[in-house]
Structure 1
Amino acid sequence: MRIGILGTGNMADALGTQWVRAGHQVLFGGRSPDRTRALAARAGGGAGSLQEAAAFGPATLLALPHAAVPGILASLGAAEGALRGRLLIDCTNAVGPGFVLTTEGGPGAARSIADATGARVIKAFNHLPDAVWRLTPPAFADGPVAVPLCGDDEEALETVAALVRDLGCAPLTAGGLDRAAYLETTTAFLIGLWHSGIDPRRLLPPFAAATA
């Protein structure tokens, strides 16, 4: 599959590298040509502009700092429908100082992106840091990492589920795009725990005990 990646940071690097290894054609798009070329050379993909990456293939990963997203979408012509109907995977986290959501009181990040672009947005890969996605595969004692997917388009969900499996992970459909706000909130909570040195697994009993 041809996958365009918007961004040249850690998440773009981790996921893009894994998809190249899985046999996909990946085009990285960034604001800095030098940084983009360096990432492409390291990962084995191609390098281009943000506009080229957005139009590259049937799937596009949005891997930018959330604060930069509105400006980048505007530069891509989101208001003119440049991304309308396209599959856009949103792995951003709108988390500000104090590990609180910057979207609090309004639509979640994924919903805002969908409304601004008309794209078929799937929220995915946002709940864990890039270090986990760099593992080959991302699996631990309990098995492969489960990746929650939130979206309203069945075909788009199936496509992203296949990309999840290519990483060696297990896709977990978690509801429509309206559920993405809960995933974003949960992630902000988890980030706060991790930065406090607390293992979130201590909050949860074994599955059998929780469902008894």
Structure 2
Amino acid sequence: MKIGILGTGGMAAALGGAWVAAGHDVLVGGRSPLRARRTAELAAAGAGSLADAARHGDAVLLAVPAAAAPRLVTELADDLAGRTVVDCTNPLVPTDDGLLLDVGETGSIAWRLATAAPGAYVVKAFNLCHVSSWTLRPPTFENVPLAVPFCADHPTAVAATRTLIDSIGCTPAPCGGLVRAAYLEATAALAIGMWWAGLQPRNAFPSPAEAPQSWAASPRS
């Protein structure tokens, strides 16, 4: 698969490197040609402008700060039309009460991006783990492949996202349509806040198989 990456930070290098290792054709794009080349070298990928990356990919990873994402997607809307755009951003704001979401009245940053580029197939994914997780080959924890939750509407985007996740040794975890992306973003705020407090989020979510009664048998109890 051809993958374009918008951004030159840690997520661009880590996920770009994982996809290159999996055999994908990856191009990293940034406003700074120098930073794009440096990030591309870390990922063993190609380098170019933001527009180059948008046009390159069957799938395009949006790996820029959440606050800058809507404007960037608006600028590239024509280039992104018909492509799967994977939003890995977390619109989080530190406060005295912990991390809060900064999404305006739209419910999620992913929804704002879908509005900014109506011709693109926006997906929410890869936003729940620290960047270092994506440098593992493959990402496994306690001998279990990492599950990657994602929200997507279009069948093409669902298929592309499954390929992106499967190919790096992770397990796709579909969580519904893009309307549910707000829950993934809220989960990131909760989990990251717990990590910062020295707590372990997964200890709050035991396996249903270990509970007295399965959630699958009684989802509303």
TM-score bracket for this pair, using the shorter chain length: over 0.9
- In the TM superposition, residue 170 of structure 1 has moved relative to its aligned partner by 0.2
> Secondary structure of the residue that 1:172 maps to in structure 2?
strand
Cross-structure match for 1:149 = 150
- What is the distance in 2 between the residues matched to 1:189 and 1:21? 31
State the alpha-carbon separation in 1 of the partners of residues 85 and 170 from structure 2.
Answer: 20
Q: Distance in 2 between matches of 1:120 and 1:75?
A: 16
Structure 1, unaligned runs of 5 or more:
none
* Partner Cα distance (2:111, 2:175) in 1: 15
Runs of 4+ in 1 over 4 A off after TM superposition: none
Task: Using structure 1 for the length normalisation, give the TM-score.
Answer: 0.93
What's the CA shift for 1:201?
2.0
CA distance in 2, matches of 1:41, 1:205: 40
User: What is the Cα deviation at residue 205 of structure 1?
Assistant: 2.8
Q: Distance in 2 between matches of 1:201 and 1:187?
A: 12
- The separation in 1 between residues aligned to 2:133 and 2:205, in whole angstroms, is 21
Match of 1:16 in 2: 16
Question: How many aligned positions are there?
Answer: 209
Alignment of 1:11-160 (within 5 A): 11-76=11-76, 78=77, 81-98=78-95, 99-103=99-103, 105-118=105-118, 119-141=120-142, 143-160=144-161
Contact 2:194 2:200 in 1 (8 A): yes
- 1:54 to partner: Cα distance: 0.4
Partners of 1:22 and 1:202 in 2: CA distance = 31
Tell me if structure 2 keeps the 8 A contact 1:62–1:90: yes
SS at match of 1:23: coil
Which residue pairs with 2:217 in the alignment? none
Tell me, yes or no, if the aligned pair for 2:84 and 2:156 is still in contact at 8 Å: no
C-alpha distance after superposition, 1:108-158 (max 9, x if no partner): 111110111011011110111111111111111151010011011112111
Query: 1:211 offset after TM fit, Å?
Result: 6.0
Residues 2, 58 of structure 2: 8 Å contact kept: yes
Letter in 1 for 2:22: A
Query: Secondary structure of 1:198's match?
Result: coil
Deviation (angstroms), 1:56: 0.4
Contact residue 74 and residue 116 of structure 2 kept, 8 A: no
Q: Within 2, Cα distance between the matches of 1:206 and 1:107?
A: 29
Give the % identical residues: 48
RMSD of equivalent CA atoms: 1.4
Q: Is the 8 A contact 1:64 1:92 kept in 2?
A: yes
- Is the 1:137–1:169 contact (alpha carbons within 8 Å) kept by the matching residues of 2? yes
Gaps of 5+ in 2: 214-221
